[in-house]
Structure 1
């Protein structure tokens, strides 16, 4: 059967949370359903990183289903479902999704400062993109051939002060 990994986070008024867990590796033969649910107050700030490594070095990926739901002041800010591996719908490893890469990750940056100065969508190098969300937040999505390069891309995006 499948394993489940559920995380619930709450960020109160004028609070800040930096949720930067370690990389998640989906080993061959595994099936994981991962859910992250965040309740963010209107004046709260959130930095959330997710990194998925699809298979250990030299082996195929397991199956991974993820859902990230972020509510800001009770309203949806982001609700995203992703699926990778042999149990996922066809095309997950094709050019339109991962393009053959084995590591995928994202950074969500949310806070009141994005209301005052919304971010502009843009590419970040060759393997990442910054997308402003409908609310006061940006989502940075990246792919890479391996875990180390994915971490470098996301760390570089996080260290760039232009987003905050």
Structure 2
């Protein structure tokens, strides 16, 4: 099997001084993790920096993040991820696995994933949360660069709270995807799609109210202490604006 295989790992725990330490900050191959300044004293901030183009066809890339009890981590990326075709016809994979303990908090806020023409990428995100964990997770996907058709992109997101699934969904877009992905029931001709998952223990007693957020986004409660915003937009800039406004409405 051709391609690059790499896994970046991060672990956050309380440092005993009111802050968050990072006993594991392990870069690998093209995936480089860098701690950054900013935020309040209790939160650690880390950027994922891509050291090369990709993922390319045949690549197997993964990010694993664990947040211990009481720790707070904000994890993002320095730039958009661009899925590109490789020399062969192999599918590329990008897997994210997140685990957050009770009273831990994670903000997973990467820059958009862009599906370039000719690429074939399968993305999975698996999130396991303890009952009192907190999460803000944003996913943004742009189908094609300016003036080009998209590649094949399949994305699956699974979120469990206390071992019980609150969200398990998959969407495939681009050449070879099941028919109707670009129709009015799914993207409606838009080329940017995204979602925001917010998990907070207080949602158990005060769940969010389902509502439309403008013409191209919705907010719905999930089973358990969670809320989901789903949005489409003509481009990535407008998609980000919609998701930012939705997050502000939940705070």
- Per-residue CA deviations over 1:31-68 (Å, capped at 9, x if unaligned) read 00000001101000110000000000110010111110
- Between Structure 1 and Structure 2, which shows a larger proportion of helix residues? 1
Instruction: Note if 1:26 corresponds to 2:115.
Output: yes
Q: How far 1:77 moved relative to its partner?
A: 1.2
Q: How far 1:116 moved relative to its partner?
A: 1.1
Secondary structure of the residue aligned to 1:154 is: helix
The unaligned stretches of length 5 or more in structure 1 are none
Corresponding residue number in structure 2 for 1:135: 224
Could you say which structure has the larger radius of gyration? 2
- Per-residue CA deviations over 1:63-106 (Å, capped at 9, x if unaligned) read 11111011111111111111111121000000000000000000
Q: How far 1:126 moved relative to its partner?
A: 1.4
Q: 1:13 aligns with which of 99, 102, 111?
A: 102
Q: How far 1:29 moved relative to its partner?
A: 0.4
TM-score (norm 2): 0.64
Distance 1:116 1:83 in 2: 35
Moved over 6 A (4+): none
TM-score (norm 1): 0.97
The unaligned stretches of length 5 or more in structure 2 are 1-89
Corresponding residue number in structure 1 for 2:92: 3
Q: How far 1:158 moved relative to its partner?
A: 1.2
Q: 2:233 aligns with which of 131, 144, 153?
A: 144
Aligned-residue Cα RMSD (Å) equals 0.7
Which structure would you say has the larger RCO, counting Cα contacts within 8 Å and 6 or more residues apart? 1
Corresponding residue number in structure 2 for 1:123: 212
Secondary structure of the residue aligned to 1:66 is: strand
Secondary structure of the residue aligned to 1:57 is: coil
